[in-house]
Amino acid sequence: MEIRIIKDLIEKAELQRIADEWKSEFVKGVVDIAQGIMAIGAEFHADEEEILIAEGSKREDCWGINLFPQKAKEDWIAFDSLINIKPVQNNRSLHVEDRATRERINMIVYKLIKD
């Protein structure tokens, strides 16, 4: 599976296709909250984060999520990933703890993925 950087609108059906290729209910993604872009399509969030960093993103702006295309819009983003453990940014768990950061991630995902 090829990692894709999403900068423009894609269909939610595309997420389902990627999930199906992985034989999974969800697609891993990493959102750069500074640039408003997202990487999808890898087995590990860290691989997507590396691609974004190679393209100019900063580690502190990248947050891992899981997207569940079969769920209702309000339930299809899970904010959990190993890359989210960022003690320097006061995020000490897998979950994105800061509400404003979660809201920014939501805004970016909803802008990039057509429901």
CA distance 40 to 5: 7
Instruction: Give the pTM.
Output: 0.96
CA distance 111 to 115: 10
Residues 18-45 pLDDT 10s: 999 999 999 999 999 999 999 999 999 9
* Residue keyed to tokens 């950087």: 5
Give how far Cα 44 sits from Cα of 76, 80, 99, Å. 18, 12, 24
CA 60 to chain centre: 14
- Flag residues of the chain having pLDDT under 70: none
Q: What does the pLDDT read at residue 74?
A: 87
